[in-house]
Structure 1
């Protein structure tokens, strides 16, 4: 312990930067110096509290310690008598303490009106918020997104509602009110089908990322995407009913910025993929895990797109081992966290 305490502060900060949030908090109890260092703004830019099972009191304490230095906040496991929840008061305090917050991930929470509570709306969130994730949470889309026109409110560019069983096709029109939305993640939303995607995509031409992995979409979705999403950069279609017919429909339109495509656990064959590769020359990342493709098929793809990385196995770092989907949003968060740690 004496050796650790005698290390230069710059070295201690580098070590603390590698710790999980819970361990960082525990390190701050060692001595006064460590407490001061663990409160450094550079360590609180990205707050990932997923390694802690937050109780009501712990969450309130965490929120009270947030500062303007916090740009990314990831919390989950909010528990009140075994029922996940998030109150308007906590949301208000997050907005007050961290007005520069850019990313907010709330996993496994109840974000809806309760007795003696007011509604939580998007207007209650920090004004600079660009990325909002409510994965595995329960909320009412008509309540949460009822106030999206105010210029003083957050202008969301990325929305993740993966694993939300409460989301269905009927909720998609409320998402269209997010006029600046560029990325939409709907992984494992069982009640999302072609009709829901059609309602959203037909009213939004700003999308660059569409993740419908694990939903009930079919080839019809690819037809509307090819017609309405000219700026598409990333398309994740894993574990859906997509076939070669849909891929060929997608190939009829050239997407000048399309770089990433996931076809993991689909019925797409080498025939459809070859057709796609001929038209989408900008592809740099293609995932075909557990698809009926041989090694020779992969070599054929790379001969057409030599700069494209073809993945045949699971590459996601944050999804649990038992997960049967790719969790592309979590991969995005992992990369963001890595970047925050380095800087």
Structure 2
């Protein structure tokens, strides 16, 4: 090694000189990067491929926290400091520069604020106490009242369960917000355990039942609406807990539930004086339990939903005797399975027992009016009735006389649904004392037609209610072309500058023509639904249902082009 004097006085070491012979031998020697020759008998080693060089990920502004049953996306308030490049340090070490050991500098703690971008503006106004304390995250900066208001919006759309149960596990603030009694006013519970055979409860069921026993007294103090769906067991236990801890309960729905006892059902009206709505559709409940509930509820019951059973006569008789004089809604259906059992209904007795009835729905039932002696006088009627639904797909005994006995004193009727009632005539419907009818449904949907359908008389219906009618359904009716034309002309004329308010018109399977449909569309600007399926006098490609004013306008253009 030779030393060369430097201008600064220090000496720099230089590598030793190589003679020409050594340089020539270096050219003959194989380089380090060249692959050495391998004998033919030995297996060759595979060359390892180097993976791509990883680069530091860009700052995304949030991080994901994995909880037990969800993923929480938490925003980052501070942008991380840029990382130093390692290439420069490695290169300096190769050049032989001495490594300088610097003392570690302690960075000052930064105070977390609601907006880290405005930290310089907040530091001048912070107190010494605030500069030493820092919150755990952005969630603590939301006031409890605002968080409860946000939860109210989510509960209204998604329900209280399971959202509130999961939100309570996020942090202490969310737990306090989810525990607010205002959020637990409407609850729908499905069985959290799978169906099983009869036997003692399993460990999972015992744990869930203990959780429900804690949840009812600690969260349901302001409960108003409760819905239990598909509960096969433990319904009496749940109803007992609700009756003891929910004095503000107003509505109870038991859908597809079993093992509902009379004792648990009768105890509810006594401990819940505000309970005025009961829904027992598709649930296995004995008629004695329902009758006992009706007698215990008395005047406080307003709404009742039932599914038809062989003992329905006892329940209707109890209502006719006046056990619930303030009943406003009564709905009886047959569920999913068709029912061919027949029962008789005493119309006049029901009118006397439920004088304040506003909605009456007898869906898909086979019933007939109970006939009295000779010279039977009309009953008090339903003076407050606003909706009558007698839709059916089976045999019907509803005639003009029966309909007149039901509606002879109902001037406030707004909705009349008579789908499948093939015995009715246009003249009988036009004689009803209901001047402000808004919805009239006379369609025949898969009904058993064993009577002759009328072919004339549709103008009597449209000219009577063309000022107030908003929905008209004439599916499957046999009115001929000219009769339908005269009937729909009622919606084309304007009186005193007011256009028709018809919004929905269904003419499926009728003999309506192109000119009639074009006239109706042009004169009804509010029309948003039009059903022209299976109309034999219309051109192909236009026989379908139209939803929205844009599709209806397209239909009008096509009809005008075709004509």
Indicate how the Cα distance of structure 1 residues 11 and 124 shifts in structure 2: closer, same or farther if over 3 A, else same. same
Q: Does structure 2 conserve the Cα–Cα contact (< 8 Å) formed by 1:261 and 1:287?
A: yes
Name structure 2 gaps, 5 residues minimum.
1-66, 75-137, 188-222, 368-394, 492-498, 534-563
Q: Does structure 1 conserve the Cα–Cα contact (< 8 Å) formed by 2:399 and 2:424?
A: no
- The count of aligned residue pairs is 303
**Matches of 1:58 and 1:153, distance apart in 2:** 25
**Matches of 1:124 and 1:195, distance apart in 2:** 33
Q: In the alignment, what sits opposite 2:231?
A: 54
Instruction: Determine if the alignment matches structure 1 residue 185 to structure 2 residue 391.
Output: no
Q: CA deviation at 1:245?
A: 3.5
Q: CA deviation at 1:194?
A: 4.0
**Matches of 1:302 and 1:35, distance apart in 2:** 52
Indicate how the Cα distance of structure 1 residues 118 and 156 shifts in structure 2: closer, same or farther if over 3 A, else same. closer
Q: In the alignment, what sits opposite 2:503?
A: 285
Greater CA drift, 27-36 or 70-79: 27-36
**Matches of 1:107 and 1:225, distance apart in 2:** 31
Q: Deviations over 1:255-292 (max 9, x none)?
A: 76443333345556775555444457865333427444
Q: 2:522 aligns with which of 280, 287, 303?
A: 303
Q: CA deviation at 1:248?
A: 4.0
**Matches of 1:98 and 1:28, distance apart in 2:** 29
Q: 2:438 aligns with which of 233, 252, 273?
A: 233
Q: 1:9 aligns with which of 148, 155, 158?
A: 148
Q: CA deviation at 1:76?
A: 0.9
Give the structure, 1 or 2, with the largest relative contact order (CA under 8 Å, sep 6 or more): 1
TM-score by length of 2: 0.43
Q: In the alignment, what sits opposite 1:134?
A: 306
TM-score by length of 1: 0.65
Q: In the alignment, what sits opposite 2:416?
A: 210
Name structure 1 gaps, 5 residues minimum.
81-85, 315-343
Q: Deviations over 1:31-59 (max 9, x none)?
A: 86476247635445774737x31224146
Report which of the two structures shows the higher radius of gyration computed on alpha carbons: 2
Q: RMSD of the TM alignment (CA)?
A: 4.5
Q: In the alignment, what sits opposite 1:157?
A: 328
Q: Does structure 2 conserve the Cα–Cα contact (< 8 Å) formed by 1:121 and 1:145?
A: no
Q: In the alignment, what sits opposite 2:242?
A: 65
**Matches of 1:255 and 1:62, distance apart in 2:** 50
**Matches of 1:282 and 1:102, distance apart in 2:** 39
**Matches of 2:358 and 2:507, distance apart in 1:** 26
Q: Does structure 2 conserve the Cα–Cα contact (< 8 Å) formed by 1:158 and 1:184?
A: yes
Indicate how the Cα distance of structure 1 residues 135 and 3 shifts in structure 2: closer, same or farther if over 3 A, else same. farther
SS at match of 1:49: strand
1:240-251 aligned within 5 A: 244-245=455-456, 247-251=458-462
**Matches of 2:265 and 2:427, distance apart in 1:** 39
Indicate how the Cα distance of structure 1 residues 202 and 284 shifts in structure 2: closer, same or farther if over 3 A, else same. same
